[in-house]
Amino acid sequence: MEHRIPVAPGVELWAEERGDPAAPPLLLVMGANASGLVWPEALVDRLARQHRVVRYDHRDTGRSTRAYAVAPYAVRDLATDAVRLLDGLGIDRAHVVGMSMGGTLVQLLLLDHPDRLRSATVLATSALGSGLADVAGDSDLPGPAPHVLGYWASMGEERDPEAELAWRVEHWRLLNGDGVPFDPAEFRALEERVVAHSGSARSPVAHALADPAGIDRGAELAAVRVPTLVVEAPEDPVNPPPHAAHLAAVIGSARLVTIPGMGHALPAAVVEPLADAIAAHTAAVDAEDGPRLP
């Protein structure tokens, strides 16, 4: 089932849900400049066995409103969008899973809207105030690999559709790392679906331009009490170790699991162990938390 949910004046988000509408809700929050379709179908289907799964397009991605050129916004506004999306779908509390920048947004939700979260899972991300979320520039944790930063310099360049597809596939190869096999055909098919879904092959860059103010809040994470799972991607070239261990330690109550070979991508090889880790985490929380729905 697809929806268009208003979240701000002149801004609507595309969302899709699957699974039993009466099951505990689970919201998937994708990373920067990425459509919700980047979540693998196999992962969504696996989680939908026990959840009402919702994935969506951030502003300026997929079928959601292209907003930045008209009304620039901050990264933190994307976290508010997630709350308003839950409101629009009539969901009081949800399990929330965030990847990369989506993990940053989930951390903001943990701080500002803990009452809306049944649990949190973050993967391939860094703690607020470190890595790409290091607004002050004083973290001693490693940043993205130089070869990835160099490739990002060409992100917004004009390319014809075929060249853009090639750029995106190569980008995924770099993000995937060397820990698990990379299949160019798998990621080309993914990006072909994303392009068909959005109706444009133009490279989205709005989130790289969005104001990062207000996300340097790592010290506040120690107060988090929402059950949180931190997934370490040991081959991640964007948020490499020890980012995941640092985040789990900062939160304190978080649990850390490692998906062997995982980088900053979701190829078929990591879907099953990732889905199992998320499903086990949410099932344990639901068993403890009770059946309060939606």
**How far apart, in whole angstroms, are the C-alpha atoms of residue 98 and residue 268?**
18
With pLDDT > 90 as the criterion, what percentage of the chain qualifies?
92
* Active-site pick, 57, 264, 281, 286: 264
- Catalytic one among 57, 77, 134, 236? 236
192-204 burial, b for 16+ CB within 10 Å, e for fewer? eebbebbeebebb
CATH topology of domain 2-141+205-289: Rossmann fold (3.40.50)
Question: What average pLDDT does the segment 102-125 reach?
Answer: 98
- CA-to-CA dists, residue 37 to 47, 56, 71, 274, angstroms: 15, 8, 25, 17
Choosing from 100, 119, 126, 130, which is the catalytic residue? 100
Q: Is 35 a catalytic residue?
A: no
pLDDT in tens, 60-111: 999 999 999 999 999 999 999 999 999 999 999 999 999 999 999 999 999 9
pLDDT tens-digit readout, 160-219: 999 999 999 999 999 999 999 999 999 999 999 999 999 999 888 999 999 999 999 999
Has 203 been annotated as catalytic?
no
Query: What is the model's pLDDT at position 136?
Result: 66
Query: What is the model's pLDDT at position 290?
Result: 63
Q: Residue 2, Cα to own-chain centre: how many angstroms? A: 19
C-alpha closest to that of 217 among 111, 123, 145, 137? 111
Please state the domain extents for the chain: 2-141+205-289
Active site residue 198: no
Task: Kindly tell me the burial class for residue 10, based on how many C-beta atoms sit within 10 Å of its own C-beta (0-12, 13-18, 19 or more).
Answer: exposed
pTM of the model: 0.96
| 271, 183, 164, 33: CA torsion to nearest 10 | 20
